[in-house]
Amino acid sequence: MDALDVPAHDHRMVEQLFRDYHAAASDAQRRAVVELLVRELSRHAALEELDRLDEGDARTDDLVARLRGDVEEHVRELETEFLPGLRAAVGQERFDALGRALVRAERTAPTRPHPNAPDRPPALTLAAPVAAAYDRVRDRLQGRPRT
């Protein structure tokens, strides 16, 4: 997978999760889908408010709809503009290497939002692995689904 395939795969997964949310038969099923959305999108954005909602919270539908619009715009820009331009600029070999690096990074990325964590190196380099390890322990203890 090259550097366009990796995010495209993630985007298709998130698109499916939005479909799953609308097809869910109960508040419990919708909450499970929200937890998966938080896990997947925490790699890319802070979702603090969505993650704090309880099962059946009336605000969930509106927040998921707003999030879906934001994600769809992000996907369009990344897949049709930014990444194809980057591939043309750096060449396929370097683009393939970037794809491999993205796969490795996703395996160690935090699974929950950390809006107060540093977002720039060098502090990010130190904080991200700690946050990711903490998230994975917390996910297992709480029985959150894995993707």
pLDDT at 123: 80
Tokens standing for residue 123: 């502090």
Tokens standing for residue 40: 């997947």
pLDDT exceeds cutoff 80 at 46: no
Least Cα distance to 51 among 110, 125, 133 occurs for: 110
The model's pLDDT over 96-130, given as tens digits with 9 standing for 90+, comes to 999 999 888 888 888 887 777 777 778 877 787 88
Judge if pTM exceeds 0.75.
no
Count Cβ neighbours within 10 Å for each residue of 108-117 and write b for 16 or more, e otherwise. ebbbbbbeee
Domain regions of the chain by residue span: 5-142
